[in-house]
C-alpha cells in the first residue's frame, strides 16, 4: 500500500521544483520534533499517513492532534501563464481534503507580490484566491474591522478603489515560504478578497511580515502560523491610521466649509460696498480692503509621515509614538510646523527634543 501511495504522490509532485523536497523535509522535521513534548501530536508524510485509505491525492504532510487534522502542502514552480490550470488542480485537492475532514494549509514558494500599498491594493493570482485560508488571527482582524465601522468607509479612507460594491468582512491570509542561508522563513499577508475574477485583487490590511520557521510552525492547541505580537502591532497601526484619516477628512471638510463661508462673506462685502465716483465714472468701484482669511495647515499627516520616513528614516514604532504622544495627547495638528522642526535634525530623538522644547 505504501508503494502504491508513494507512486501516486510522486506523480502529483512531478510539477514541483527541486526546492520542494528540501522545504518539505525541513517543515516535516520541525513539526516532528514537537512530538517529543506533545504526546497528543502526530506528524507524518501524507502518502504514509493515508496509504491504507488509498487516497487519490496526498498532502505533503498530515498533522493531527486532539483538536484538528491538517493537510499541509507546499507549492513551488508557480507560473502565472499556467495559473488557471493550477487553480483548478488546487480547487480539486482542497475539496478532496475537505471531504476527508482535513483543514488545508498551503505554503507558496517565495515570489514577488504585486502590492500598491499607497492604495492598499494587492493583486492576486487565480490560484492564490483558493490558497488563502482563515486563521484565529484573521478573525481578530474581522473583529477590528467590525469595531471601526462599515467597509465602505474604511476602504474609502484608505483610498482603495473597490471593484465590487460589497466586499465581504472576511479576512484571509496567504503564506509564503523562503529559502535562506539558515534554513527557511515564512511570511504572511492579510487581506479582504474583492475581485474573484480576472484581474484578481484584494484590499490589503497589512504589508506582510516575515517570521522564522520556529515561530510559524509552533504548535500549542493549533499551528501558530503567525507572530501574534506583530499582528497586534499591525492592527494597532491600522486602527490608528483609520482614526487619523477620519479626523483628517473631517478637518478638511471643516476647512472647506470655512473657505466657502469666507468667500460668501467677501462677496457680500463687495455687494454692500458703496459706489464712489472716480474721475467722473460713477460705475467704478474703489478697491476694498478685505480681511484676510486665516492661515490653515496645508500638510496632511500622511504627507508628514512620508517626508519623515525619507528624511530621518521614521520607523513604524516612532510613527505610532509621534501620533499618540504629540498629535493626540498634545493636540499638535499643524503638521507643517513639525516638518519645519524635522528639517533641522537627522534623528527622531532630536526631533522629539525640538518638539518638547517648543511645547514648553
The tens digit of pLDDT for each residue in 136-164 reads 999 999 999 999 989 999 999 999 988 76
On whether residue 172 sits in a domain, the answer given is yes
Name the strand (E) or helix (H) holding 278: none
pLDDT score recorded for residue 287: 36
Q: Are 221 and 307 found together in one domain? A: no
Q: Are 78 and 185 found together in one domain? A: yes
pLDDT score recorded for residue 282: 44
Q: Are 171 and 28 found together in one domain? A: yes
pLDDT score recorded for residue 297: 47
CA-nearest of 60, 79, 70 to 13 is 60
Question: How many other CB atoms are there within 10 angstroms of residue 206's CB atom?
Answer: 22
For residue 41 the three cell numbers come to 501530536
Q: Are 127 and 219 found together in one domain? A: yes
**255 φ/ψ angles, rounded to the nearest 5 degrees:** -60, -45
The span from the CA of 218 to the CA of 34, in Å, is 8
Q: Are 94 and 10 found together in one domain? A: yes
On whether residue 234 sits in a domain, the answer given is no
Q: Are 304 and 221 found together in one domain? A: no
Flag residues of the chain having pLDDT under 50. 276-297
pLDDT score recorded for residue 153: 92
On whether residue 68 sits in a domain, the answer given is yes
Question: How many other CB atoms are there within 10 angstroms of residue 294's CB atom?
Answer: 7
Total number of domains in the chain: 2
Last residue of one domain, picked from the residues 226, 251, 272: 226
Q: Are 172 and 59 found together in one domain? A: yes
Both ends of the chain: CA-CA distance in Å? 79
On whether residue 286 sits in a domain, the answer given is no
On whether residue 255 sits in a domain, the answer given is no
On whether residue 265 sits in a domain, the answer given is no
3-state SS class at 274: coil
On whether residue 36 sits in a domain, the answer given is yes
On whether residue 131 sits in a domain, the answer given is yes
pTM: 0.71
The span from the CA of 242 to the CA of 250, in Å, is 12
Contact criterion met (CB below 8 Å) for 63 and 70? yes
Q: Are 203 and 319 found together in one domain? A: no
Last residue of one domain, picked from the residues 226, 248, 279: 226
pLDDT score recorded for residue 197: 75
Helices (H), the chain: 2-12, 19-33, 46-49, 83-99, 126-131, 136-148, 151-157, 213-216, 228-272, 301-312, 316-321, 335-342, 348-359
DSSP-assigned beta bridge partners for residue 28: none
Range of the domain at 360: 297-360
Last residue of one domain, picked from the residues 226, 257, 283: 226
Amino acid at each position: 500500500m505504501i508503494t502504491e501511495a508513494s507512486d501516486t504522490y510522486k506523480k502529483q509532485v512531478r510539477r514541483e521544483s527541486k526546492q520542494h523536497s528540501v522545504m518539505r523535509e525541513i517543515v516535516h522535521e520541525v513539526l516532528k520534533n514537537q512530538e517529543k513534548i506533545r504526546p497528543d501530536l502526530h506528524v507524518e508524510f501524507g502518502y504514509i499517513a493515508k496509504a491504507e485509505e488509498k487516497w487519490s491525492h496526498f498532502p505533503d504532510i498530515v498533522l493531527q492532534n486532539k483538536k484538528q487534522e491538517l493537510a499541509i502542502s507546499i507549492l513551488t514552480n508557480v507560473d502565472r501563464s499556467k495559473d488557471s490550470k493550477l487553480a483548478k488542480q488546487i480547487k480539486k485537492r482542497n475539496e478532496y481534503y475537505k471531504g476527508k475532514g482535513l483543514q488545508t494549509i498551503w505554503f507558496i514558494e517565495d515570489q514577488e507580490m504585486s502590492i500598491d500599498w499607497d492604495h492598499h491594493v494587492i493583486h492576486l493570482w487565480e490560484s492564490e484566491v483558493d490558497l488563502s485560508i482563515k486563521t484565529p488571527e484573521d478573525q481578530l482582524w474581522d473583529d477590528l474591522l467590525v469595531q471601526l465601522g462599515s467597509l465602505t468607509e474604511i476602504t474609502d479612507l484608505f483610498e482603495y478603489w473597490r471593484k465590487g460594491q460589497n466586499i465581504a468582512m472576511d479576512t484571509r491570509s496567504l503564506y509564503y515560504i523562503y529559502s535562506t542561508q539558515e534554513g527557511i522563513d515564512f511570511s504572511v499577508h492579510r487581506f479582504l478578497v474583492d475581485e474573484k475574477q480576472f484581474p484578481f485583487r484584494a484590499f490589503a490590511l497589512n504589508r506582510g511580515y516575515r517570521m522564522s520557521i520556529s515561530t510559524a510552525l509552533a504548535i500549542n492547541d493549533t499551528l501558530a502560523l503567525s507572530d501574534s505580537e506583530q499582528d497586534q502591532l499591525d492592527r494597532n497601526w491600522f486602527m490608528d491610521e483609520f482614526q487619523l484619516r477620519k479626523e483628517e477628512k473631517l478637518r478638511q471638510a471643516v476647512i472647506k466649509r470655512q473657505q466657502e463661508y469666507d468667500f460668501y462673506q467677501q462677496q457680500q462685502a463687495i455687494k454692500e460696498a458703496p459706489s464712489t465716483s472716480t474721475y467722473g465714472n460713477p460705475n467704478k468701484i474703489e478697491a476694498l480692503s478685505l480681511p484676510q482669511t486665516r492661515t490653515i495647515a496645508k500638510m496632511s499627516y500622511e504627507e508628514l509621515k512620508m517626508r519623515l520616513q525619507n528624511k530621518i528614516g521614521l520607523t513604524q514604532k516612532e510613527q505610532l509614538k509621534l501620533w499618540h504622544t504629540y498629535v493626540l495627547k498634545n493636540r499638535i495638528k499643524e503638521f507643517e510646523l513639525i516638518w519645519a522642526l524635522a528639517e533641522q535634525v537627522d534623528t527622531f530623538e532630536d526631533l522629539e527634543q525640538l518638539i518638547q522644547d517648543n511645547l514648553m
